[in-house]
Each structure stands twice: as C-alpha cells, then as structure tokens.
Amino acid sequence: MAKKVEILLYDGMNESEFGLIYEILATSEIVNQQARSRTRGFQVDTVADRITPIETSNGVKMYPQKGIAGSVGADILIVPGGPGARKPLVPQGILDWLTRAVGNAEMIAASSTGVYILGRAGLILNRKVTTHYTLLDDLQRLYPRAKVESKIRVVADGKNLLTSAGGTGAIDMTLEIIYRCYGPEVAVRAAHRIEFPYKPPEPKKSSMSVPDLSAPDW
C-alpha cells in the first residue's frame, strides 16, 4: 500500500522546492519483477490552512488539494522551504496540524527554511537539524536548544525527523525518504528518472540509514 504523504502549502513558500519534492514522490514506483507489475510508492496530497489559493514567493498561485481540517492519518508530513517560513507569525492552524500529527506520522521532513515552521511548532527541541547555509547561525540563534548541523545536505535525527539544506537539498531529502521507506533500489530508480547523481548510504557507515534509537520522542 502506498505511503500517504501530505505536503504543506503556505504563502511565501518556494515553488521549486515544492515541485521537486512532489514530482519525485508522485512518480516513484515499486517494481515487482516476478509479477511484472509497478505500483505507486506514495499517495501525495497538498494541504493548507485554507482552501483558497496560496501565493508562492514568486507570485505563483496554487490551490491545495485539501484544507488542514481534511487531513487524516498521513504517514509522512513535508514542509518545503521559502521566505514565508521565516515570518514571525505562522497560522495557528498549521502549528496545530503539525503537533497533532506527530504522534501518528512515521516521519516529518522539512527542506531548507521549512525547518523554521517546525521550530515554531516546538518540534526541533534537542533535535539535530539543518537549513540553507546562509541561515545556519540565524536558526541557531532563534532555537538555541536545537542542534544545528552545517556542511551536511540532509540531517536525520532518529527515524522520524529529516531536514535538508536549501535548493537541490530538497532532492537529497526526498530520495532519503524513499530510501527509508522502500530501500536503495527504489531510491536509485527515482534518482535515475530525474537524472540526479545519487548513491545510497552504506548501512554500516551512514548514520542516515541507521535510526538513532536514543533520540528523544516528540
């Protein structure tokens, strides 16, 4: 059964990061050679705090597939980056959506500045995270109890939190989600489809592929 994914849309989000994440997950396939069948790995929906158009950082208007009230039981929640994520006030509905879902979701991921929204929801306390390289110090200043990592494109804290660097870091993060859900073959196939250089992590050498069971719960 396909993993259920909800990607947050919000005013001021980066449409390119969103597009990369959505495209890679929506086209990811699980191939069964013996049965000669292909199945979708992910059912991807967009969600927002309202059902009226969302305006991206470059003025593109996007319609969410559902409002937060219609969000039910997603396996994976994803917050793309964008300048809107750094605004002091995040709609309370978004914060409630995140804090309500963390107990049931297998994974929460944020690309680039999307981590700021996780921070405002109280989800990065004592957690390892990263963001766009120009904002590492700013993130640490705002969230001094977070463990902000530098020079790493994808930071995994335990088995349930992923954050990434900006821009194409969203691709690395999305491939890591696929790797964690379905293994290296599916992740490599997804990378090949978009002609992105990718090498799955070595299980014995990469902390990204071995969950840190000592990490705090949400």
Strand arrangement, sheet containing 161-164: 66-67, 42-48, 3-8, 76-79, 107-111, 161-164, 154-157
Beta-strand ranges (E) seen in 75-197 are 76-79, 107-111, 128-129, 147-148, 154-157, 161-164
Q: Is the pLDDT of residue 52 over 60?
A: yes
Closest CA to 173 of 65, 40, 12, 22: 22
From residue 199, alpha-carbon distances to 26, 176, 185, 206 in Å are 21, 10, 10, 12
The whole-number average pLDDT for the span 107-133 is: 97
* Lowest-confidence segment of 36-45, 160-169, 170-179 by average pLDDT: 36-45
Give the bridge partners for 25, in sequence order. Answer: none
Question: What type of residue sits at position 77?
Answer: L
Mean of pLDDT over the chain: 90
Q: Report helix, strand or coil for 142.
A: helix
Q: Does domain 3-193 have CATH number 3.40.50.880?
A: yes
Question: What type of residue sits at position 136?
Answer: L
Confidence label for 208 from pLDDT (cuts 50, 70 and 90) = very low
Confidence label for 207 from pLDDT (cuts 50, 70 and 90) = very low
pLDDT of residue 204: 56
54-55 and 61-62: which strand pairing? antiparallel
| End-to-end C-alpha distance for the chain, whole angstroms | 26
Q: Is the pLDDT of residue 6 over 60?
A: yes
- Give the helix ranges, DSSP H, for 64-135: 92-101, 114-120
- pTM listed for this prediction: 0.90
